[in-house]
Amino acid sequence: AKVVFDQIPDPLPPVGELVEVTVTLPTLGATPIAPNAAIHHIDGKLGVWQVTNGALHFTPVSLGIADLEGRVQIREGLQIGDQVVAYSENTLNEHSRIHVVDHIPGVTP
């Protein structure tokens, strides 16, 4: 790969230096996204714990791209506005009782 600097650093990095780059790609159309932490592998399937009318169920999903903020595109399996469990201290199953909150106290603003 070729690296171009906006400003040439002084001194130049040594030849063979490793770099981390972020590539800005065109934006996608409206699509559901979920925190990467909400994605689980259960019985060989990739999915999320979805909340529908207070009931919890595992919904298989197909993933798209992920960003540097820990969000991942859901290509199939969810609709925009669907509610998923982003975090749980305990292992979930369809009989788990949950308490929905807007944010995790002490973790998110």
Domain definitions of the chain by residue range: 28-109
pLDDT at residue number 26: 76
Query: Which residue do the tokens 């030849």 mark?
Result: 15
* Percentage of residues in the chain having pLDDT higher than 90: 51
Range of weakest confidence among 22-31, 64-73, 88-97: 22-31
Amino acid identity of 68? L
Question: Mean pLDDT in the chain?
Answer: 88
Query: Which residue do the tokens 């130049």 mark?
Result: 12
28-109 under CATH 2.40.420.20, yes or no: yes
Write the pLDDT tens digit of every residue in 37-79: 999 999 999 999 999 998 999 999 999 989 888 999 999 999 9
Of residues 27 and 59, more confidence is placed in 59
Q: In angstroms, rounded to a whole number, what is the distance separating the alpha carbons of residues 12 and 9?
A: 5
For residue 43, what are its two tokens? 């019985």
